[in-house]
Structure 1
Amino acid sequence: MKFRVLKASEIDCRIQSIGQNKTGAVGTTILLYKDARVDMNILDETVGAMNWQRGHSIIDGNLYCTISIWDEVKEQWISKSDVGTESNTEKEKGQASDSFKRAGFNWGIGRELYSAPFVYIQLDKSEYIERNGKLTSNAKFKVKDVSYDENRNIVRLVVVDSKGKVRYTFGENAQQQTQETVYNWQTLKARATQGGISEDDLVHYVTETLKVKKPSELTQEHYQQAFNWVNAQRYAKR
């Protein structure tokens, strides 16, 4: 069974972190994700609303979701499960939704998001404020266009702001970014976590492969190497 790739309208953008580079410019890294309703709609569309079901169970204090799909040939339910994490707002609802989306990834729904490039957008002064020494932003972004290759890897991506202005482009026939991308440990760790890589594994790679004693000693070149390694690990786990 093969599920279709996500449409641009089905991919949401979330501000993951905000930082200031050495020139004083402020930028944000963007996480691409799918909403649980996308999984529901694609399951309905692909196998039929009556041919799939979901269930939740608690294992060792963690909430798991199981998505089962009816196999007409084998005449049995085929199930795949994954665990969820808490949201910042509603604990139980967030875990249920997250576990459902992760179970959907196991079935292949939206798995192409694992091939997403590192999305960095430089913010205008009107798009962020500093509160208690911390930069925050309410800027909204969305995916305008996305294309994939035959292996379902993202080869083109266009992200726009709430006014429709193009703020990020990547890939085929896209004008490449000229602004400076600045990496830091938080964005690298967040990227690793998204791909199922623990902080311990990340630290081990940094110390053993890059020969850096601690994250504070990482250069931008080191970060680029680390991001490439994280992406390679993410693809291998698909």
Structure 2
Amino acid sequence: MARILVINPNSSENVTAAMDLALDPLRVAGGPEIESLTNPDGPPGIESQAHVDDVAVQLRAIIQAHDHRVDAFVIACFSDPGLFAAREITAKPVFGIAESGILSAMSLGERYGVIAILSKSIPRHLRYIRSLGLEARLAADLAIELGVTELADEGRTFSRMVEVGTRLRDVHGARALVMGCAGMARYRRRLEDTLSIAVVDPAQAATAMAVAAIQLGQSNGNGQAVVSGG
């Protein structure tokens, strides 16, 4: 059976568990197996550029270790750490949740908004969005001011997501929202129902793209893996 490996780059098992549960609708008869993995060497949350740079090296090692048994990879952090390096070392499709989530949101609404965890994350998001050439349809990127480990506080987290989502919709004109952290996965359906606007869980979006790539027999565009060394 084909297999997708969804890698949580941080070391929070709670984040991995919530994300994995949200992927259940994509587990269908005859489809690929979807396996979630926590990076034991990562920080509790990816909340700085230093965190992004550090885990990129760790993710490369994880992908190399599992490449022989996996048909597609998902990097489940909204900074897409190590995404381009990962695509150089495997012929398997590799999806970053930020890139996938934004592309999905753009297919659901003319302008998209991002719900970030912290204000200090926003400059990093904006740098990446500009590098992807996707800034023209960005309505705004606003933070709920909660760290990754605080997202398990459901009452406080959901209240702030509703507040920020409402501002993105009513003040900034967003017509679709992207949740800017895999740890927000459990809130997608409730948030969409509350705001009456499309809400994208980027881990779901990336994994759905991985399922499609496997079913269609697509590689990552390199044709074959680049062999390191020399």
Specify which structure has the higher proportion of strand: 1
Could you state the TM-score of these two structures normalised by the residue count of structure 1? 0.27
Q: Which has the higher contact order (CA 8 A, sep 6+)?
A: 2
Could you state the TM-score of these two structures normalised by the residue count of structure 2? 0.28
Specify which structure has the higher proportion of helix: 2
